[in-house]
Structure 1
Amino acid sequence: MAPTTNRSRPRISAKGQQFATVVVGKHQDKFIVHEPLLIHYSDFFRAALTNGMKETEEKTVTLAKDNPKVFEIFVHWLYYQRFPNKAHHDDQELVNRYKDPDVLIALYVFGDQYQARQLRNAALSALFYHTLKSDFYLPYESSIRFAYRRLPTDSPLCRLLVDFYCQYAGPEYYRILNDGYPVQFLLAVASRYAELRIWDAEEDLALASYLEPET
């Protein structure tokens, strides 16, 4: 299966459009989405909806373990190619839900699990800019544990979380512990601190260092 590329967006205004049903979460919330959008932006959905198996025939995909609130923001992004924004008069509940670093981390993880590279880059970019503008607090240990459970430790998001803590975290972030930070995360932070000390460097973070290349 060829990966999704930067080909033109589907023409969803054309007549005779195909739709797919995505059933999300333990309560089986149903989302009706243009099939071409799902196929265009996610290799997972492309495979599920075109491989000739049960999902292809029924045009239904079930994501039993995913969060419907996160999936709804993914659907918003599919259609608008941006996240909810008050300036665009988007629904206020969606705007409030999006303005949370935990949600952006969940969106990135969703994009990793379902092979949606452009969503990963969009979520990471939003987390980067909102954090640098001080719109967001730094992600706490619960979100970092979630990211480290679901992603490779050398993933762009995990690297960004390490750099965020090296650059911006004060002592209070290490005092507010529930179940604690992942050991791999603390080791990465310590290693990064050592690099900065040896180089006597104070680097400004650059978004391009974390984005995945276009294919």
Structure 2
Amino acid sequence: MKLKAIENSIVSNFKDGTVTVIVGTGVERESYNIHRSLLRSSSPVFEAMINGPFREGKQNVIRLPDDSSNAFAVFAHWLYSGELPEESEDDSGASLLQVHLEAFVFGDKYGLLTFKQMNYKRVLVVLKGYFWPPVEFIELLYSYYGVTSKIQNYFFDHFTYVVSNSRALPTDVEWFKEVGGCVPEFALAVATAMVERRMMHRPSPEDNSGYEFCDPPKRYIKAGGRKRAAPVSEVKAKSVKRARKNTSSEIDWD
């Protein structure tokens, strides 16, 4: 019975033919033939295009001139397989970071929540493999403003960690100077402050005092006769406890 239900589901996704989807413009323009039922069931936006009183449904052609053909190729692969394509980085086109960032934005635009989340995770995985991400990726990342804010935050953590380990300020890093034009000015100030904070709590490599480098930044305290790293939250908890003790002795509860 279960196998029959699966079979019926598969058949229903392919029984009413295909729709032509034209993505991009100019040399980037690509055309895809996607099964109507499959595309319609993936997104309320596509369902409205196909079933609603729009010319896309009547002409059986959907035009997406403002979207990336690379992103749609990733989407089409996911639509039929349920997985993102496994590709290796090369110099033949856009970087994997760019492709999956565009796919993430595509998923956000058309309400493809699972697809969006999968591409978000893929971007983070690929980003970890870069010491300095491609400048083109950073330009693209900030061009989407709030849509990619979650990835921007992760990039900042990654960037400040790498820079603080090199014991340099962002303004002294040549790569940052290259992307300075596309990164908001306030972001540079925040990055510099974060790096300075990390470096303030991080002993130099020549320091043999027994301190340990921790990430995220932690304060260093003495405990049990030796120096150790303590999370900021632990230090705050002790401070609150002391404050409560001092306060309770000063208050007249009568």
**1:81 aligned partner:** 82
Q: Deviations over 1:51-102 (max 9, x none)?
A: 222222223210113332332122112112222226xxxxx899x8686212
Larger Rg over CA atoms = 2
| Root mean square deviation, CA, Å | 3.7
% of aligned pairs identical?
19
Structure 2 residue aligned with 1:11: 9
Structure 2, unmatched stretches of 5+, are 1-5, 167-172, 203-213, 218-254
SS of 1:62 mapped into structure 2: strand
Contact 1:40 1:46 in 2 (8 A): yes
Tell me how far apart the structure 1 counterparts of residues 9 and 94 of structure 2 sit (CA, whole Å).
27
Given the alignment, which residue of 212, 216, 224 partners 1:203? Answer: 216
Counterpart amino acid of residue 174 in structure 1: F
1:152 counterpart residue number: 146
Matches within 5 A, 1:23-172: 23-27=22-26, 28-85=29-86, 100-132=96-128, 134=129, 136=130, 138-152=132-146, 155-169=149-163, 171-172=173-174
Give the Cα–Cα distance (whole angstroms) in 2 for the partners of residues 108 and 139 of structure 1: 17
Return 5+ residue gaps in structure 1 as ranges.
Answer: 1-7, 87-91, 205-215
Alignment partners' CA distance in 2, 1:143 and 1:56 = 35
Is the 1:111–1:120 contact (alpha carbons within 8 Å) kept by the matching residues of 2? yes
Q: Distance between the aligned counterparts of 1:93 and 1:36, measured in 2?
A: 33
| Alignment counterpart, residue 189 of structure 1, candidates 191, 200, 206 | 191
Using the alignment, how far apart are the partners of 1:93 and 1:32 within structure 2? 27
Q: TM-score by structure 1 length?
A: 0.67
TM-aligned CA distance change 1:131 to 1:144, over 3 Å: closer
Distance 1:197 1:41 in 2: 47
Q: Would you say how many aligned residue pairs link Structure 1 and Structure 2?
A: 188
**TM-score of the pair, normalised by structure 2:** 0.59
CA distance in 1, matches of 2:142, 2:179: 16
Kindly indicate whether the alpha-carbon contact (under 8 Å) linking 2:21 and 2:64 is maintained by their aligned counterparts in 1: yes
Shift of 1:22: 0.8
Greater relative contact order (CA < 8 Å, ≥ 6 in sequence): 1
Cα shift at 1:190 = 4.4
Residue 151 and residue 172 in structure 1: after superposition, are their counterparts in 2 closer, same or farther (change >3 A)?
A: same
Judged with a 3 Å threshold, the aligned counterparts in structure 2 of structure 1 residues 150 and 47 are, in CA distance, closer, same or farther, namely farther
Greater helix share, structure number: 2
Deviation of the 1:106 alpha carbon: 1.6
1:129-181 per-residue CA deviation (whole Å, 9 max, x = no partner) reads: 2333x2x4543343223222224177322222222212235634314448443
Determine the C-alpha separation between the residues in 1 that align with 2:79 and 2:190.
Answer: 34
- AA matched with 1:203: P
Work out the CA distance in 1 between the residues paired with 2:60 and 2:99. 27
- The secondary structure found in structure 2 opposite 1:144 is helix
